[in-house]
Structure 1
Amino acid sequence: MNTAPILVIGSTGKTGSRIVRSLTEKGFPVREGSRNSAIPFDWEKPETWAAALAGVKAAYVSYFPDLAFPGAAAKIEALTKAAKAAGVRKLVLLSGRGEAHARHCEEIVRNCGLDFTLVRAAWFAQNFSEGYLQAPVLDGVVALPAGDIKEPIADVDDIADVAVAALTDDRHNGELYEITGPRLLTFAEAAAEISSAAAIPVQYVPITLEQFHAGMLDIGGPLIADVFTEICRETLDGHNAYLTDGVQRALGRAPRDFADFCSNAAASGAWKKAA
């Protein structure tokens, strides 16, 4: 086995932590890429990139906080150049489904001169269990500016499995895998399934973009509120309400169902209220 490490940028995030664990279990050498890792990687400190990329054969690229943020494309482009200079052979980019800014970043990676795989993901199921909606679920009310649209909610474990396959097998070079779940759900239906699995009352409440923005101001300030409101405006309009075969093409199996996610999250204690 090649002893050159695989760099996982965003190694403490939802996808990155799973990728690190899976690669390690499979026996691949891994270099974690976060601000506090042994060899730090910080998107805001490009001077950390060269050391993190040194000797790496492939890198998983997850941009924090989101590819829609101002300056993201410039940083992705700078990273591709740094990776090429360091002798990295392949990049696997996590991208957002139905987002124009994300598509622009995909094209940067596609045209950078390195091998690549693009992993374009729908709404994460794990947003409800280990993301910013976990607390609202526990409080019994999930409020989003999504009306009654349907979303093909994707399991992060599927996204990680596809990324691991892409990082370790050249058969995935040049591919775009769009990851969705196996069925479409409204957020009201998702809340009902969570409620049933967790045995707690959970209600979905549709709100306006203005109400969402006001709530995000309290959480993250003006920039966070502006960007995430625009992401919702762009993606929660129904144009993503269709299924794709990314998991099937990449892994030869069906994607995980939202009901299975709910059962597993409930069993893990994700929705257990503190005593």
Structure 2
Amino acid sequence: MTILVLAATGKTGRRLVPQLRADGNEVRAASRSGEARFDWNEPETWAAVLAGVRAVYLVAPEDPEPVEAFVAQAVRAGVERFVVLSGRELEQAEGRFGGEMLAAERAVAASGVGWTVLRSNNFNQNFDEYTWREPLLAGRLGLPIGATGEPFIDTQDVAEVAALALTEAGHFGQVYELSGPESLTFGEAVRMISAALGRPIEYVELTPAEYEAELLAEGFPAEVAGALGGMFEMMREGLITTPTDTVEKLLGRPATTFAEYVGRVWPPH
């Protein structure tokens, strides 16, 4: 069975591909710049990556418009299983954040073939591989989140759960809520990273308007700033602050703690 991994160069995809291959699976790693070229906005790239594929790891594009057509084409090509990366409590945030992930969930649920949804909290790796990396290294992270906790999850844990769902029986129709084992405030997380770096990092509480203004000043597009603002609005409501034990139940080991992540990654190599 060939497994197609979309967004294969992303935070979860680049961990999932070697995980699957180490287990002896045939994997097609696809992205705009990966081993197999795939672009959501260029449907002419879809057929080649789908040829001979029976399972797909799907990370939705920012624009959800092509997802339904892709899923339909994948089913016609012989795909029998989808595993979709999504976020927790997105129905509560609809219209504010996560519309593309909800569209992917709904497309695979209506596909007529097997599907599994992985609803994840924010990744540990958002601190060293994404939006928060440069502010942390510069010594100041400002966010509009207050004292609301977040059970950050490690992307390696997500990749291992995805590998199970893509290759083993018993996961069809399941929606897995994935989190780390403990809920930390962003201030606590920043203090742990600061200690690992051996130098101070200031955590600053911003209003939503201040946060949007800072993102725009840093050059983020308005739609990205709006989506991030919507995410923090949903998080402030406490909808995703409670940890789950799903990772431990599925993998047979505890989920990675934030302290373990910090000890492994910080300072960045």
CA contact (8 A) 1:119 1:163 kept: yes
Which secondary structure does the structure 1 equivalent of 2:36 belong to? Answer: coil
- 1:68 matched to which residue of 2? none
- 1:44 matched to which residue of 2? 41
TM-score using structure 2 length? 0.91
- 1:190 matched to which residue of 2? 189
Task: Tell me, in whole angstroms, the C-alpha distance in 2 between the residues paired with 1:164 and 1:203.
Answer: 38
Alignment of 1:124-139 (within 5 A): 124-139=123-138
CA contact (8 A) 1:193 1:262 kept: yes
* 1:10 matched to 2:7: yes
Which secondary structure does the structure 1 equivalent of 2:85 belong to? Answer: strand
CA-CA distance at 1:79 after TM superposition: 1.9
- 1:116 matched to which residue of 2? 115
The match for 2:30 among 12, 33, 40 is 33
CA-CA distance at 1:179 after TM superposition: 0.8
- 2:248 matched to which residue of 1? 248
CA-CA distance at 1:222 after TM superposition: 1.8
Task: Tell me, in whole angstroms, the C-alpha distance in 2 between the residues paired with 1:161 and 1:193.
Answer: 25
Task: Tell me, in whole angstroms, the C-alpha distance in 1 between the residues paired with 2:237 and 2:74.
Answer: 36
CA-CA distance at 1:173 after TM superposition: 2.0
- 1:59 matched to which residue of 2? 56
**Cα distance change on mapping 1:186 and 1:38 into 2, 3 Å:** closer
CA-CA distance at 1:256 after TM superposition: 0.6
Which secondary structure does the structure 2 equivalent of 1:14 belong to? Answer: coil
> What letter corresponds to residue 211 of structure 1 in structure 2?
E
CA-CA distance at 1:64 after TM superposition: 3.4
Alignment of 1:134-173 (within 5 A): 134-173=133-172
> What letter corresponds to residue 241 of structure 1 in structure 2?
T
Task: Tell me, in whole angstroms, the C-alpha distance in 2 between the residues paired with 1:185 and 1:149.
Answer: 8
Aligned length: 260
**Aligned Cα root-mean-square deviation (Å):** 1.6
Task: Tell me, in whole angstroms, the C-alpha distance in 1 between the residues paired with 2:42 and 2:212.
Answer: 29
- 2:78 matched to which residue of 1? 87
CA contact (8 A) 1:177 1:250 kept: no
- 1:201 matched to which residue of 2? 200
Which secondary structure does the structure 1 equivalent of 2:220 belong to? Answer: helix
> Structure 1 residue runs of 4+, over 6 Å off?
none
CA contact (8 A) 1:98 1:235 kept: no
Which secondary structure does the structure 1 equivalent of 2:263 belong to? Answer: helix
> What letter corresponds to residue 240 of structure 1 in structure 2?
I
Task: Tell me, in whole angstroms, the C-alpha distance in 2 between the residues paired with 1:219 and 1:114.
Answer: 41
> What letter corresponds to residue 234 of structure 2 in structure 1?
E
Task: Tell me, in whole angstroms, the C-alpha distance in 2 between the residues paired with 1:263 and 1:221.
Answer: 33
> What letter corresponds to residue 246 of structure 2 in structure 1?
G
* 1:234 matched to 2:234: yes
- 1:22 matched to which residue of 2? 19
Task: Tell me, in whole angstroms, the C-alpha distance in 2 between the residues paired with 1:36 and 1:96.
Answer: 25
Task: Tell me, in whole angstroms, the C-alpha distance in 2 between the residues paired with 1:12 and 1:28.
Answer: 18
Moved more, 134-143 or 88-97: 134-143
> What letter corresponds to residue 88 of structure 2 in structure 1?
R
> What letter corresponds to residue 29 of structure 1 in structure 2?
E
CA contact (8 A) 2:235 2:241 kept: no
- 2:223 matched to which residue of 1? 223
CA-CA distance at 1:104 after TM superposition: 4.7
CA-CA distance at 1:155 after TM superposition: 0.9
Unaligned runs of 5+ in 2: none
CA-CA distance at 1:12 after TM superposition: 0.4
Task: Tell me, in whole angstroms, the C-alpha distance in 1 between the residues paired with 2:160 and 2:136.
Answer: 26
- 1:262 matched to which residue of 2? 262
